[in-house]
Amino acid sequence: MMAVLDSARKADEGRVRAVTGLRDRWANLPYGWRISVLFAFIIFLYALPGLEIPLISTPDTDFTSVLFLCAVYVLVAVGLNVVIGLAGLLDLGYIGFYAVGAYTVAILGSPNSPVVIQFPWVVCVPIAIAVTMVSGVILGWPTLRLRGDYLAIVTLGFGEIIRVFALNSDITNGNRGITGVPVPSEGTWPEWMDWFPGITAGRPIFSVSNVIGFYWLALTLVFICMLGVRRLERSRVGRSWLAIREDEDAAEVMGVPTFKYKLWAFAIGAALGGLSGALFFSKQTFINAQGFDLFTSILWVAAVVIGGAGNQLGVALGAILLAYLPERFREFADYRLLIFGVALIVMTIFRPQGLLPSRRRKVELEDRAKEGAVGE
Amino acid sequence: MNFEFLGDNFMSLTVTGLTQGAIYALVALGYTLVYGVLRLINFAHSEVFMIGTFVTTIVWAGLGFGVGASAPGTFGVLGLIALAVVAAGAASGGTALIVERVAYRPLRKRNAPSLIFLISAIGASVALFELVGAITDRQPRGMPSLVQPKVQFTIFGADVTNLQIGIILSALAMLAGLDIFINRTRLGRGVRAVAQNPDVAALMGVNKDRVIMLIFVLGGMMAGAASVLYDVKVGITTYSVGFLIGIKAFTAAVLGGIGNLRGALLGGLLLGVVENYGAGVFGNEWMDVVAFVMLVVVLLFRPTGLLGESLGRARA
Amino acid sequence: MSERNNLLEVDNVTIRFGGVTALDGVDFSVKEGEILGLIGPNGAGKTTCFNAVTGVVKPTSGAIRFRGKTLVGQQRHKITRLGIARTFQNIRLFPEMTALENVQVGADARHKTSVVGALFRTWRVPVKPHELVEVDAKSGFGRAVQQVRRTGQRIFGLSRHTLEERAAKEKATELLKLVGIEHRAGELARSLAYGEQRRLEIARALATEPGLLCLDEPAAGFNPAEKESLLELIRKIRDTGVTVLLIEHDMRLVMGVTDRIVVLEFGKKIAEGTPAEVRENPAVIAAYLGVPTDAA
C-alpha cells in the first residue's frame, strides 16, 4: 500500500516539475510569441463549438451546452477565488449570490413574474449585479467581523435562507418558479456568420436550442472578469487581500483597512456570482428554487481549492473539471459524485496545493511538508 | 405571521423543540469535540449520523422487526433500542474513526492548511453519502414504529408524550456522561490538555494521536445514539438525511460556543426550541431561516457563542 | 538636550484586564527626533503600553495624544496613517508574500488607489518623458506593442495606480537596502532567516512613513554582532528624522542607543531620565535586582 502511494506521489512530482518547467519556459518566451500563442488559444476557445474534436466532445449531451456550463462555472470560480483564494474568507453559501443575481433578472425581465416590469436583459443584468453586491455587503457587514470558521457557517446559513426564500416567497412564484427569463437579445444571426458550423443565418442568436451565442457571450464575460480580477490582484487591493489572509491583525496595524477590503472582496465576489447566475438562467429561461442547493455551493468551494486557490488559471481548471467530467461520463451518472468525493480525498493527500497552485502556495506547502517531516 | 398560534401552543411548541433540540445537541457534540481539539469543521460528521440511522434499521430488520412489524412489549422495545444504540454507536464511531484515518490523518502528518482539511472533509462526506445512496438505490427506508406516542402528563396545556420524555432524558443522560468523562477521567484530562496546547500536551506524555482517535470515536458514538433517537421519533430515513441535521447541529455547536460541551447542549436545545417557535409564527417552511437568523444575531452580540469556546469547561 | 516638541504624550494611562491592572497611571512623552527606551522587568507593562499607543488595546482611563491628536478610540489602521508604526515582539510578517511585497503593504498605507482606481485605472496624470514604457523588446512584434503602449501613455497619461505602484516598489527596494536585505527581495518572508525577518519587519514598519517607530524587543534572540549592527540601524533610522520608541530587555543595548529612558515596574513608572541618570537610580537598581522598592 505504502509503496503504491509513494510511486504515485513520485509520478505526480514529475508532473509538477514538467508543469513548472513549462511555466518557466513560457515566461522566457519573447513577448510577441506569448501574445500570439495567447491569441491563438483564445480563438481556439471561441471556435470550440464548431470543432468536432473526437475525445473531448460529449456523446450524450449537446457539447456547446457543456461548454457554456463550463464558462459559467469558471465565472463562478473566478468570483469565489477572490473571496477564498485571495482574501481567505471561507464562503460556503456562495450559491446565494448566484441565486440573487438569477432571480433579479427573472423578476425584473420576465413577463411571467409577479412584478410586471419587463426590463430588457441589458438593463436587468447591471441591476442584478448591483443587487447582489448590496446583498454581499448586507451579509458581510455584520459577519465579516467574525472569525473564519464562524463565517463559514453563517454564509452556509445565508445560502439556505436564500433557497428557502426562493421556495416560499410570492415574489419568486414559490416552487412554480418563473418562466420567460429574458435572453440577452432578440436579434438573429446575420448572413456573414452563416459559415460557422451550427449557425444558421436568420435564427435567433440566443436560444435554448442553439447555445453558441450564449457560449460566446459567457466566454467574453469570463475574459473580461478574469482581466479585471487580475488587475485587482496586482494592485494595492490584491496585496491588502493577501495580507489579510496571512495575518489580519498585522495587516490592520500596517495601515490596511481590513474591514473595508474584506467587504470589497465579498462584494466583488458576490457581483461575479450574481452575474454568473443571471447568465446561466437566461439560457435556461426558467428558474425555480431547485437549482440552488447548498451542495452545489460546497462543490464550488471544492473546485476552487482543488484547482489551486489564489491562481486564476487553476480555479478555472477546477471549475471546468467540475462542470465537464460529469457530462462527459454520463454512463457513470450514479457513481460520479462518489468518484468525485473519493477524488477529493485523494487530491488533498497528494496535491494539497491544488492542480495549478499559485507560486506562493506551492513554496509554502513544500516548507510545511518539511516542517511536518521534521516534527514526526 | 401568527403570534396567536404561538401564544396558544407555547408549551407544546417548547416540548417539541426540546425533543428536536436534544437530537441536535447529541450530534453537535461530535462537531464540538473535533473542533475543540483540531480546530476543524468535521463536515463528514453528518454522514456519520446518517450511517447510524441505517444501521439501526438493519439491526431491527435483522431481528425480525422490518417495516410494518408490530412492536413487542415495553421491555422488548427497550431492548431493541438498547441494542440499536450499541450497534449504531459502534457503526458511527467506527465510521468517524475511518474518516479520521483516511481523510485527516495523512493531512495532519503533512501539516496542511485548514482549507485543505475542509476539502478532504467535504470529499469524505460526499463519498459516504453517495456510497449509501448507491447501496440503497436512493430510496428511503422505513421501520416499524416501536413507540406509540402516549400522553404521559400535561404541563400548562401541553401534552408530553412518553417518546418526548424518553428522547430528552436519554440525550441528557448521555451528555452528562460525556461531560463527566471529559472533566473527571484521566483520558478526558488528556483530551482537554491536547485541546489547550497540543505541543505541550505531547511533551507531557499525552499521546496526541490516541486523543484524536478518542474524540472522533466519542463524537461518532454520540451521533450514533442520536441516530437511534431520530429513528424512533421519525420512523424513516434516507441517504440524504444527514445534511440538514448536520448543518443544524453545527449551528447549535457554534451557537453555544464551539469547542464547549455544555455549549453544545445549550445551543442544541435553544435552536430546537426557537426554530419551533419560529415555525409556529411564520409557518413551517421558514423554520430553517429562523434558525440561521438567530445564529447571526447571537454571534453579533456574543462573537464566540453563548458560553464561549473552551473544551470541557464553561466560561462564565 | 535642547527643548523639543512632544511627539507622543501618554497621559495618566491606566489599563485593567478584568481584575489585573496592567498599567497604572503611566505618564511620559516622546520628544520629536529622540530615541526613547521603555524598559522594565518581565510583566512590567511595556508591551501593553505599546498596544495602547497603537490602538490594539483601549486604555481604561487616561489619554494618548500624537502630534496633539487623541489616539484613544481611533481605528488601528488610522493610527498607522497618523504616523505611528510598530514591529511585533513575536515576528508577524505575511509569510506567503515576498519580502518586497511585505514592505509594499506598508507603503500602501500612504496610497489612495482603491478598487475602482485599480480596476479602471482612473485618475490619469500627465506623464513625464522618463516615465514612459521603454521600447526594448527583442522581437519586432513586441516592440510594436510597446510602441503602441508608449503612444497611449503619451496621450492618456498614467493612472494614479501605476504611479503609486511604481513608487511603492521603489520605496520598498530602498528600505530593504536600508535594513540590508535587498538581496532577498523576491523570497517569501517565511523562508527568510530569523534575523532577516526582524529586519524585514522594521522595513515594513518604516514603509508606512511613520513619525514615530515603535520597536518591540527588536534584538530578541540576536547575538552580540547582530545587536551591534541593529544599534547602527536604529541610529540610522533616527537620523532620517524618525522618532524611535524602543522596548528592550538588553540593558546594554538600551543604554548605548537611547537618549532617554522610561522605566516601568508592575505597571507603574518608577523612573525617567537619561541613561546615566537611570543607571544610578536606586529604584531601578532595586527593580532589576528584585529588591522591593520600599526597601531600597
Domains and CATH numbers, chain B: 3-301 (1.10.3470)
Minimal CA separation from A34 to chain C, in Å: 9
Q: Do the Cβ atoms of A236 and C113 come within 8 Å? A: yes
**In the prediction, which pLDDT does B315 show?**
34
SS3 (DSSP) at A58: coil
Range of the domain at A248: 60-185+197-292
Grid cell listed for A173: 412564484
Q: Which CATH architecture has domain C1-83+210-296?
A: 3-Layer(aba) Sandwich (3.40)
| A16 within some domain | no
What's the number of domains chain A is made of?
Answer: 1
| A81 within some domain | yes
Among C47, C75, C77, pick the best mutation site for testing chain A contact (most A Cβ within 10 A): C77
**In the prediction, which pLDDT does A359 show?**
57
Greater confidence (B197 vs B282) lies with B282
| A362 within some domain | no
**In the prediction, which pLDDT does A369 show?**
52
- SS3 letters for B116-165? HHHHHHHHHHHHHHHHHHHHCCCCCEECCCCCCCCEEEEECCEEEEHHHH
Q: Do the Cβ atoms of B123 and A301 come within 8 Å? A: no
Checking ipTM against 0.85, whether it exceeds it is yes
- Give B264-294 pLDDT, tens digit per residue: 999 999 999 999 999 888 888 888 888 888 8
Q: Do the Cβ atoms of C119 and A228 come within 8 Å? A: yes
Residue identified by cell 470550440 is A48
Q: Do the Cβ atoms of B107 and A164 come within 8 Å? A: no
pLDDT of B25 higher than 90: yes
Note whether B229 and B171 are within 8 A (CB).
yes
| A210 within some domain | yes
Q: Quick one: which of A80, C242, A1 has its CA closest to C233? A: C242
Q: Do the Cβ atoms of A341 and B251 come within 8 Å? A: no
**In the prediction, which pLDDT does A82 show?**
95
Note whether A282 and A275 are within 8 A (CB).
no
- SS3 letters for chain C? CCCCCEEEEEEEEEEEECCEEEEEEEEEEEECCCEEEEECCCCCCHHHHHHHHCCCCCCCEEEEEECCEECCCCCHHHHHHHCEEECCCCCCCCCCCEHHHHHHHHHHCCCCCCHHHHHHCCCEECCCHHHCCCCCCCCHHHHHHHHHHHHHHHHHCEEHHHHHHHHHHHHHHHHHHHHCCHHHCCCEHHHCCHHHHHHHHHHHHHHCCCCEEEEECCCCCCCHHHHHHHHHHHHHHHHCCCEEEEECCCHHHHHHHCCEEEEEECCEEEEEECHHHHHHCHHHHHHHHCCCHHHC
| A212 within some domain | yes
| A123 within some domain | yes
**Mean pLDDT of the residues in chain C:** 87
Q: Do the Cβ atoms of A232 and C119 come within 8 Å? A: yes
Which of A32, A243, A264 is closest, CB to CB, to C115?
Answer: A264
- Give C20-67 pLDDT, tens digit per residue: 888 898 999 999 999 999 988 877 888 888 889 988 888 999 999 999
pLDDT of B53 higher than 70: yes
Q: Do the Cβ atoms of B130 and A335 come within 8 Å? A: yes
Confidence of residue A150 (pLDDT cuts 50, 70, 90): confident
State how beta strands B141-142 and B236-237 pair: antiparallel
Minimal CA separation from B2 to chain A, in Å: 16
- Give C181-222 pLDDT, tens digit per residue: 999 988 889 889 999 999 999 999 999 999 999 999 998 888
**In the prediction, which pLDDT does C158 show?**
84
Among A234, A246, A254, pick the best mutation site for testing chain C contact (most C Cβ within 10 A): A254
| A113 within some domain | yes
**In the prediction, which pLDDT does B173 show?**
92
Q: Which residues of A touch B239 (CB under 8 A)?
A: none
Note whether B99 and B124 are within 8 A (CB).
yes
Confidence of residue B115 (pLDDT cuts 50, 70, 90): confident
Q: Find the range with the poorest average confidence among A341-345, B176-180, B247-251.
A: A341-345
Among A78, A253, A261, A272, pick the best mutation site for testing chain C contact (most C Cβ within 10 A): A253
Grid cell listed for A118: 419587463
Greater confidence (B308 vs B75) lies with B75
Confidence of residue A375 (pLDDT cuts 50, 70, 90): very low
Q: Which residues of C touch A232 (CB under 8 A)?
A: 115, 118-119
Q: Which residues of C touch A257 (CB under 8 A)?
A: 75, 77
Q: Which residues of B touch A352 (CB under 8 A)?
A: 107, 110, 112-113, 116
| A319 within some domain | no
